[in-house]
Structure 1
Amino acid sequence: MTAANAPRDRYNAVWIIFFILGLGTLLPWNFFMTATMYFTSRLKNGEHNLTANVTVAIDNRNVFESKFNNVMTLCAMVPLLIFTCLNSFIHQRLFENVMAQLKPDFKTFGAILQGSLFGLAGMLPASYTTPIMSGQGLAGTFAAFSMICALASGSALQDSAFGYFITACVVILLAIVSYFALPKMEFFQYYSESNGSRSSSDEENKMDLLKPEGHAEKRPVLSLTDEESRPAVSVFGIFKQIWVMALSVCFVFTITIGVFPAVTVDVKTTVVEEGNGWNTYFIPVSCFLLFNLMDWAGRSLTAVCMWPGKDSIWLPILVIARLVFVPLFMLCNVQPRHYLPMVFSHDAWYIVFMILFSFSNGYLASLCMCFGPKKVSQHEAETAGAIMAFFLSLGLAVGAALSFAFRAMI
Structure 2
Amino acid sequence: MEVHELKDINNGVWFIFFILGLGTLLPWNFFMTATMYFTSRLRDPSQMEAISVNVTSGEWHHRSLLEAKFNNVMTLCAMLPLLAFTCLNSILHQRIPQNFRVMGSLGVILVVFLLTAILVKIEMAPLPFFTLTMIKIIIINSFGAILQGSLFGMAGLLPTKYTTPIMSGQGLAGTFAAFSMICAIASGSEINDAAFGYFITACAVIILAIMSYVALHKLIWVLALSVCFAFTITIGTFPAVTVDVKSTIADGGAWELYYIPVCCFLLFNLSDWAGRSLTAVCMWPGKDSKLVPILLVARVIFVPLFMLCNVQPRLNLPVFFKHDAWFIVFMIFFAFSNGYLASLCMCFGPKKVSPHEAETAGAIMAFFLSLGLALGASLSFLFRGLV
Q: Higher relative CO (CA 8 A, sep ≥ 6), structure 1 or 2?
A: 1
TM-score (norm 1): 0.43
TM-score (norm 2): 0.46
